[in-house]
Every structure is written in C-alpha cells, then in structure tokens.
Chains A and B, each alone.
Chain A
C-alpha cells in the first residue's frame, strides 16, 4: 500500500493541475470550488491507500449521520468516511462532507463516543465551510511550491484546510456539541484528545502533524473537560463493545501496519484490543506472537502465543508457520518439523513453499 501520502498527492494533483494551467482555484464561485474538490475526492476513493471495507464504512458513516441529522446543511453534504491505510494518527475532511481517518487513529480509540468526538470535529469543518473559505483564498504560487517540495498529505491538508487555531477551537467545540446532542457521553471527548496526545508522544513528534494549526493537546483536553461540565444533561452512551466489534478489520490492519513500522508497543496494544473485540479470532494471537518473536519478548513467549492461536483454530496456517520457525530457532527440531509440515498441508500453494521444504529437508538429517 502507498500510505496516506499518495492520498494527498491525488488531491494536490488537482490543485497543481489548475496552477500549471495558469488558474488558481476560482475565488468567487463556491460551486466551482466544490466541484473541483469533489472530483479530487473521486480520485482519492480509488486510491489503494484506503482500507476499503463496506461494513466498516457503513458503521462509520452511520455514526457520522447520527451526529449531523439535525443540521440544516446536511442535505448538501455527501457524508462518507474512508479509512486510510496508515498507522500514524491523522484525519481530515473535505468540504463536501467526506471524512478521512487513518487506521492507526481508529485503532487507538476505545469507543463510539470517542469516534463521535473525532468525526464531530471533522464534519464541523464541512458544516462551517471552513476549507471552502480557505480554498478560495489559495495562492497559486504556494500550490506550486507545495508540489515542488513534494509535501505529502499531512502538511498539505493541514495547509490546504488552512484551518487556523481559532477555527480548530471552534470545530472542537462544535464537534463536542454534536456528539453531546446525539446522546453520547460527553466525558469521552477529553479521552479522545488524550489518546491523540499519547499517539503524538509515541510518534516522537511534538504534536501530530495534521494538527499543526490545532491548539495544543493539553488545551484541547482542558476545553473538552470544561465542555463536559457545560453539558450536564448529555447522554450516557459510550458504545465501547459496538465500536470494537465494528473495528475488527481495522484493528487487524492497524496492528500489522504498526508491526511493519516497528511500533511494537502499538502493535501489541492493537492486538490486545483485537482479542477483546474478537476473542475467537486467532489473528490477534498470531500478531501477538509476531510481536514477541520479532521484538524483545523472546521465542518462548512467541511460541506460547502461537499455540494459543492454534487452540482457537488448529487450521490457522500463519500460526503453524510462525510456530515452526520459532521452534526451529529455539532448537526444538521435532516441534518445528511437525508445525512446518502441517503448514504446507494447510497451504500447499504457499509463496514460501520452497523455503519450508528446504527447512523440512534439513530437519530430516542430524542437527548441524
């Protein structure tokens, strides 16, 4: 997959195309701006940098619709939510109501109320036409400079959205109002911002990049707590179980992306969340085993985790293979042979069949 950078490239390309043709975004005709950005979104939706899952998208869009059902401008918006194939924390919205959020950010949230806070913030920008107002004032030379420097999605959209800190504060407040009005427990809003702070610390950045124009996290947490106090009659709905159940495909992908990026703590946390959401799904234990085997927990711990995956599903080929390699490294030749042979039975067309056959042949002879 190409990651969110390519997504930014798609919309940036629309802007650059205009610039190269000697045209800036039309400043006067809002409909024209809208149509250009809608065309950009159509390109974005074809990007393989998205995790396309109809059930996940339907769930996310359901929450989004619930947030804005009483808003007058809703009829003019195309309410869609797309999941970006990235482990980093990132989210943005387009003027027509399209919201984009990374798998990593979704995986970090605990419940639907926190999701509602995030979506409420993003859709507030569309409801207030923030990015349209900014797009109309775009400077053509800045677009060209952005493209020339190869600036990707995160800063490009932070810049493109151009949302000033004041507008971000407004979007935070509007988003919290939306989620409170929809019946969610408004106390979860502060927790969502705390998660953002935790992610930014993990990613070793002062604040998540997409929030370059956003108020500081601590300020947002404080504001969310004050807002909670201002909505004493808000609902109590949190929706933790419902959220986790809906996010199972996202958790699987986010965990793998975190592992690929070497973010072992995040991968482990995501795998644990996956196990909570789907306790009978062996993929959570396989991911935990990989984190142990490729991280620092050690081979014995890894083997134990793979065995727990196999206890849930003895036909889990990934667990058989990984257990075989783990036992091979640990010197358990018989255990390795059994696991690898079973792996090939389960997956006769495995891409690494030649490798596994070579391992099995070596295991037939005396130890080296």
Chain B
C-alpha cells in the first residue's frame, strides 16, 4: 500500500516537473486597456507579475533574470516620433536604441536584425549595459507593430552566468508568444 502511494506520488511529482509549460493568458478587454490579450509559455516555477503594461516574469528575482511582455499604443496622440507611423521595423529599432542611449549606463547595441513576433514583422535588438555597481548586463528585445499596438517581448540578465542560463526560456517564450485572435488584427 505504502509503495503504491509513494509510486503514485513520484509519478505525480515527475509529471509536474516535466510537464507542459503553462500558457499564460490575459483576458481580452476587461479593466486593462493594454495588453488586450496574448498567450506565452513560461516555466511553471517562474514568478509572474501582471500589470496594465503587460507581464513580468522571473525565477530568482528581476535582477537575475527579467522577462517582459509589454504592449503600448504604437501611435499615441503625443508620440515622440510621429514620423514612425508607416515606418520600417528598423526605424522602430532606432527608437529603442535612442532610449537605451539616453537611459542606460554604458550602453552598447550589439546587433539589430529582422524578427517576427506572433507572425508580425519586427526587429530583434541585442544590447548590453552596466548596472550602477558595474555589473554587465545583456538584453534582448523583439518588437513588432500589430495594428495600433507595439508589442514587445524582452529579456535582461547579468552577462555572467545568468544570461546564457535562462536564454532558452526567453527563446521558448518568443516561439510560443501568440496574440489572442481578437488582438491580432
């Protein structure tokens, strides 16, 4: 009897550990103006924090790994760069580069290349910077404009150890990111 219970418990634990990664679904509409709805697969043991801007997730703390899904109006009434309307993905990347340059410490853009997010054409930018204590961080951001919304999925982590360790989680999140049908218009 005890052996049976133990075996069942072991199977259940193993299934929990090795099971499908949990899709994260935010309902369309509701109280949140953004994001209207998306799904993304994240490891079940990661902490998730929802906000009106989107979703943040981490396993060990946001300074160790910070995965973000965010959505914002692509063409707000007082857009910083109104000429981006109808712009190319690489021009949208210019906006990110300008923000990195003016906000981060010792920023370096390492690569900007074409990418897709939920099937929409966009860009992928890899960059680095240093924290106030001098620790070097690496970051990735993929952004695509879908309709009137700029969708981004990003990942930052200390360059030493953590970045490579959790990069597969980010890649999996990118591959599984889907806009809800009502959103992807």
Q: Which A residues are within 8 Å of any B CB, using their own CB?
A: 1-3, 6, 9, 48-49, 85, 256-257, 259-262, 292-298, 325, 328-329, 351-352, 354-356, 358-359
Contact = CB atoms under 8 A, between A and B. Distances in A.
B99 A294 contact: no
B52 interface: no
A298 B82 CA distance: 10
A295 B51 CA distance: 31
Interface stretch (B17-25, B40-48, B104-112, B138-146): B104-112
B104 A329 contact: no
Contact of B82 (A2, A49, A296): A296
A356 B89 CA distance: 11
Interface in B113-133: 113-114, 123, 132
A10 to B, nearest CB: 9
Given A354-B111, A356-B90, 12 more contacts: A1-B107, A9-B132, A49-B105, A257-B102, A261-B80, A294-B91, A294-B94, A329-B87, A352-B90, A352-B93, A354-B114, A355-B123
Given A355-B112, A355-B113, A293 B83 contact: yes
A294 B86 CA distance: 11
Nearest to B112: A352
B101 interface: yes
Most buried by A among B79, B102, B110, B113: B102
Which of A260, A297, A354 has the most CB atoms of chain B within a 10 A radius of its CB?
A260
B28 interface: no
Interface of A is mostly: helix
Given A296-B82, A354-B114, A260 B102 contact: yes
A325 B89 CA distance: 10
Contacts of B123: 355
B12 interface: no
A276 to B, nearest CB: 24
Nearest to A356: B90
The 10 closest A-B pairs by CB, nearest first: A262-B80, A260-B98, A354-B113, A294-B81, A352-B112, A294-B83, A260-B102, A2-B105, A355-B90, A48-B105
B84 interface: yes
Contacts of B81: 262, 294-295
B88 A328 contact: yes
B3 interface: no
Contacts of A256: 98, 101
Contacts of A2: 103-105
